[in-house]
Structure 1
Amino acid sequence: MRSLPEEADYVVVGAGSAGCALAARLSEDPRVLVVLLEAGGAARNPWLHVPIGYAKTMYHPTLSWNLATEPEPELHGRRINWPRGRVLGGSSAINGLLYVRGQHADFDHWRQLGCVGWSAADVLPAFRRAEDQQRGADEWHGAGGPLAVSDLSPRSALAEAFIAAGQEVGLPRNDDFNGAEQEGVGPFQVTARGGWRCSAATAYLGPARRRANLVVVTGAAAERVVLDGRRATGIAFRHAGTARSIRARREVVLCGGAIASPRLLLLSGIGPAEELRALGIAPRHDLAEVGRNLQDHFQARMVFRASRRGTLNDALGSLAGRMMAGMHFALRRAGPLTISAGVAGLFARVLPGSATPDTQFHFIPFSADRPGGGLHDFPGFTISTCQLRPESRGDITLVGADPALPARIRANYMSTDTDRRCMVEGLKLVRRVAAAPALRAWIEAEFLPGAGCDGDDALLEHARRAGTTIFHPAGTCRMGADPGAVVAPDLRVQGIGGLRVADASIMPTVVSGNTNAACIMIGEKAAELIRQAA
């Protein structure tokens, strides 16, 4: 690390998906000094770079924050584990690598909510600018950008059977979920290059750190935004056990994600005034919606016992198999260690009246009792279903004024009838796909929840007892044009000068799909907005 300056033009807090993109883009201007503060450490663990390494890092004691929700009322009081990346690259360093942008309608809806500049046509250039698409540039995709987007190769016969089964139940084949239409069944693309994971840190910080005007500080835990009246002037943080601060000549940008960004605003006295006073925090700006509007994609999984070998349970279930997989990766950057958290996907409408897909399915060629857990000792595979546009809303609040305390997370999963019906109908579609001839030939039996789980009530109970997050929290610093929004469409915090937020927390509604690509787009857009203002 270069020596930490006392001030910089821009101070960016959080080296996750958006923060890496933003800091790197801002540092392209040699006239400005950019400091990027990251609470986690450098990405030295080798599992951070091997695609299937998420199984080792997602619940790692130091590479993940290992958060958990409060007891969830609709889930029999269960606390749901929320792993979040605690390393350069943030959650893009420990996620399942899937590259899914969301639907065009998601961004057009943002524009309809008053977010000028965030329609599908507006954000497409940022997506394309970020992308290095293996298939080459076209109307929807870019080539030569920092973020590698590639095909999984070769696809297994089992994945092809899933795709064929989706077609047999009436869904169109779709080889590009990020093109003209999202609906259909087909292969996922992943953020990988040459067999290696391409996190936001690899994509953006790797090249940018050669610049003298970008200083990246790891182990820097932000504690509050420094305010001079109604203007942000810097960040107070703790580094190597010492209280430090840095001044921002131009702007502070929070990129901590849907949990850390609202938490830092609240610790700084920006939020619901009465709640802050009750915690012993002096309110600096009464902004009622900070931490509200929390959304997340909830998933329920079905596990099938395969009738033949060909799953990752077989390939990695023995020492000899793991050694062979390691050699395959070492020699060719291929094989089981390059598998993402889903090799094929399906986007479908399961509720009457849905104009676009309301449910996403991940086909995973292995099975375990829980995400990140040990593989079953039989040939098995998993199909998960998650609702894309949940109505349920939760919140992020503080436990106390101490910055060392984690935030309180209330996801409030499945709190509406629509959300519950969508989960049940999604699970029923999984069973229809599994019963289609192409996939039925691979199945010995349904292992989870099992044939005894019959009827809508039983399927809902399965979701309540076994469902979990699919790791896409968003919305807690809502962007909008109305006075209640936390940030305006230019990402400036309402009522506070010199302060913006740029991460998943600004999404008015969570995108219909995995969130990493959209977060990187938000970082790209934020850099564009900041440069325009300067």
Structure 2
Amino acid sequence: MAVYDYIIVGAGSAGSPLARGLSDDPQNRVLLIEAGPSSDRFWVNTPAGMAMLYFDREVNWNFYTEPMAKLHDRRMYWPRGKMLGGSSSLNGMIFIRGHRNDFDSWARLGNSGWGYDDVLPYFRKMERYEGGDDQYRGSYGPLHITDPVIKQNSSFDFISAATKTGIPFTEDMNGAVHDGVGFIQHNIDKGRRHSAYKAFVEPVLNRPNLTVQTKCEVQRVLFNGRVATGIEIVRDGRRETIHAAREVILSAGSLKSPQILMLSGVGSAAELKQHGIDLVHESPGVGQNLQDHFYIHTGYRSTPDSSYNANLSGLRKYWEGFRYLLTGHSYLALGSSQVAAFVKSRPEEEYADLQISFRPMSFKYFPDGTVAVDRHPGLGVSIYQLRPRTTGTVTLRSANPSDPGRYTPNFLTDADDVRAVIAGIRKVREIMSSEPIASRVTAEEVPGPSLRTDEQLYQYMQATGNSAHHQVGTCKMGSDPMAVVDDRLRVRGVERLRIVDASIMPHLTSGNTNAPTIMIGTKAVDLVLEDRLPRRSIAS
């Protein structure tokens, strides 16, 4: 009979640091379980290889939303990592913690211990920042954080142009000053992706008290009354039960964790009854409060020396591949964006509610979700709305764990969300028409100079708007009736069950969500150990 003290479901951005921290104590028997395979493959380790993984069904869940009425009934493609490292093995490797106010707001909502000053030590603890150690940054942690190995001249010019439009320069947006414009950092080490799994788990795989199992599809959490006792999985076509002597911890992400909860009998009674699932505990907030950063892409044709499109196509891409294999310093070693600007959509915002990301290359984004690098030189600039007012839902499609859930993000259903994104498009145009970046631009490709009015830009958003793949909030932390977990990440209404991933965020952070998700896993170690429960007696 398989028995562990702690069962962690999901070896991704939060599950990996959690497994590392819990297994630091040799008395803890820890199982880290993953639905997908190993992530040790060339295109995972190569930063520019993320495009090669976009539709890989072995390492990617390949989710789709429900049709969205405000976006011409489009179904939006939502890639999520399905391998060791989870989405940190699939994403653009951008490392942005978020604004101080994001976390202070979590604390003001009644979540003790989650304010900025509370979480800062965990951000410092988890990172090995090449810029060194100070009161904001850490340089002794497992996760390598680096600047881009190649900084294009056009990136410097974008920063200079942005400052001329009134955006202040920030040397380190993960340091004292978040809002402003500056270079982005990435979790890349010596030209290779440094996923959460590679950083936290791979170095300690020889620990006898840590077990990692792949290709295990979790069916449900098992309960004795309201006490979580283990999980049921399917592995190699066989159904198995694994017992937890202390706790079951879901770290399956904002789309999978609420689905597993509902399949296990924790959720809305009406939702569970519809699918014939016995109710263990009524928790109406499960799968609610889905939040994501709505994303709009703009693109510009540029002078040849401003873009590295040519280096990623034709014969040059083979030279880049050779240079990458030889030195690790090539365009294949870059993350998905080089520069970020955090700006307000209007003066009365307390802090930046828009993120503008610049990359010295351009691509076409097709309705089916595929992307292709442009053959002509170009520059890409994206806008993310950081604090959406709309929320969506994750609900069940069926009682079959192999069926994906129903994902309904409700994008563009709030007029103020629409206003903010339109303001972001106009701000991008202001920057790109300012020197010195303006001299590098030969034409605006998308949205295109003919689209000028708010209505025309709104129609462009409807036709092309996408997700930044920053889904959070579906098992939110709090004390209100819709809260799923408390501020120690324990699932309310049941025992010996926690959730440790981005689904517990009460609301989105200002920026890409991978860094705060890793922080959640790092902080959760202390919560679990401080609450250390006695081992249950498990009959054979």
Give the TM-score of the pair, scaled to structure 1: 0.98
Number of aligned residue pairs: 529
Does 1:45 find its partner at 2:47? no
Structural mapping, 1:416-435, within 5 Å = 416-435=414-433
Which residue is 2:356 aligned to?
361
The one-letter amino acid of 1:192's match is I
Which residue is 1:136 aligned to?
132
Which residue is 1:172 aligned to?
168
User: For residues 365-417 of structure 1, what are the alpha-carbon distances to aligned partners after superposition, in whole Å with 9 as ceiling and x for unaligned?
Assistant: 22111175121111011100010011110000001111111100001112111
User: For residues 265-308 of structure 1, what are the alpha-carbon distances to aligned partners after superposition, in whole Å with 9 as ceiling and x for unaligned?
Assistant: 00001000111111111111110010000000011010101123
Secondary structure of the residue aligned to 2:256 is helix
Which of 76, 91, 99 matches 1:103? 99
In the TM superposition, residue 34 of structure 1 has moved relative to its aligned partner by 0.1
Which residue is 2:536 aligned to?
none
In structure 1, what is the Cα distance between the partners aligned to 2:334 and 2:51? 11
Contact 1:58 1:95 in 2 (8 A): no
Contact 1:420 1:460 in 2 (8 A): yes
Which residue is 1:349 aligned to?
344
Secondary structure of the residue aligned to 2:407 is strand
Instruction: Report the more deviating stretch, 146-155 or 251-260.
Output: 146-155
Structural mapping, 1:167-246, within 5 Å = 167-246=163-242
Which of 109, 114, 118 matches 1:113? 109
Secondary structure of the residue aligned to 1:454 is coil
In structure 2, what is the Cα distance between the partners aligned to 1:73 and 1:22? 39
Contact 2:150 2:334 in 1 (8 A): no
Which residue is 1:466 aligned to?
464
Structural mapping, 1:307-322, within 5 Å = 307-318=303-314, 320-322=315-317
User: For residues 37-92 of structure 1, what are the alpha-carbon distances to aligned partners after superposition, in whole Å with 9 as ceiling and x for unaligned?
Assistant: 10000013211001111111132221111101001122111111000001100000
Does 1:260 find its partner at 2:256? yes
Which of 447, 452, 455 matches 2:453? 455
In structure 2, what is the Cα distance between the partners aligned to 1:317 and 1:130? 36
In structure 2, what is the Cα distance between the partners aligned to 1:181 and 1:476? 29
Secondary structure of the residue aligned to 1:505 is helix
In structure 2, what is the Cα distance between the partners aligned to 1:58 and 1:135? 31
Does 1:530 find its partner at 2:525? no
The one-letter amino acid of 2:504's match is I
Does 1:387 find its partner at 2:382? no
Structural mapping, 1:289-308, within 5 Å = 289-308=285-304
Which of 78, 89, 93 matches 1:93? 89
User: For residues 479-519 of structure 1, what are the alpha-carbon distances to aligned partners after superposition, in whole Å with 9 as ceiling and x for unaligned?
Assistant: 00224310000000001100000000000001111000000
In structure 2, what is the Cα distance between the partners aligned to 1:351 and 1:16? 36
Secondary structure of the residue aligned to 1:282 is coil
Which residue is 2:332 aligned to?
337
In structure 1, what is the Cα distance between the partners aligned to 2:402 and 2:348? 46
Does 1:327 find its partner at 2:322? yes
In structure 2, what is the Cα distance between the partners aligned to 1:47 and 1:175? 31
The one-letter amino acid of 2:343's match is A
Secondary structure of the residue aligned to 1:386 is strand
Which runs of 5 or more residues in structure 1 are unaligned?
Answer: none
Structural mapping, 1:55-70, within 5 Å = 55-70=51-66
Does 1:286 find its partner at 2:249? no
User: For residues 445-475 of structure 1, what are the alpha-carbon distances to aligned partners after superposition, in whole Å with 9 as ceiling and x for unaligned?
Assistant: 0011111111111111111111101110000
In structure 1, what is the Cα distance between the partners aligned to 2:245 and 2:316? 56
Which residue is 2:498 aligned to?
500
Instruction: Report the more deviating stretch, 72-81 or 244-253.
Output: 72-81
Which residue is 2:537 aligned to?
none
Secondary structure of the residue aligned to 1:441 is helix
Which residue is 2:24 aligned to?
28
In structure 2, what is the Cα distance between the partners aligned to 1:132 and 1:264? 34
In structure 2, what is the Cα distance between the partners aligned to 1:527 and 1:193? 25
Contact 2:59 2:83 in 1 (8 A): yes
In the TM superposition, residue 240 of structure 1 has moved relative to its aligned partner by 1.0
Which residue is 2:515 aligned to?
517
User: For residues 338-379 of structure 1, what are the alpha-carbon distances to aligned partners after superposition, in whole Å with 9 as ceiling and x for unaligned?
Assistant: 121111111001124211100001112221111751211110
Which of 151, 154, 158 matches 2:154? 158
Identity of aligned residues (%): 39
Does 1:403 find its partner at 2:398? no
In structure 2, what is the Cα distance between the partners aligned to 1:441 and 1:332? 33
Which of 117, 121, 127 matches 1:125? 121
Root-mean-square deviation (Å): 1.0
In the TM superposition, residue 12 of structure 1 has moved relative to its aligned partner by 0.3
Contact 1:287 1:484 in 2 (8 A): yes
In structure 2, what is the Cα distance between the partners aligned to 1:413 and 1:483? 25
Secondary structure of the residue aligned to 2:524 is helix
User: For residues 211-235 of structure 1, what are the alpha-carbon distances to aligned partners after superposition, in whole Å with 9 as ceiling and x for unaligned?
Assistant: 1110000001111000000110001
Give the TM-score of the pair, scaled to structure 2: 0.97
Instruction: Report the more deviating stretch, 58-67 or 209-218.
Output: 58-67
In structure 1, what is the Cα distance between the partners aligned to 2:412 and 2:175? 30
Contact 2:306 2:440 in 1 (8 A): no
Which of 265, 268, 275 matches 1:269? 265
Secondary structure of the residue aligned to 1:491 is coil
In structure 2, what is the Cα distance between the partners aligned to 1:498 and 1:165? 53
The one-letter amino acid of 2:445's match is F
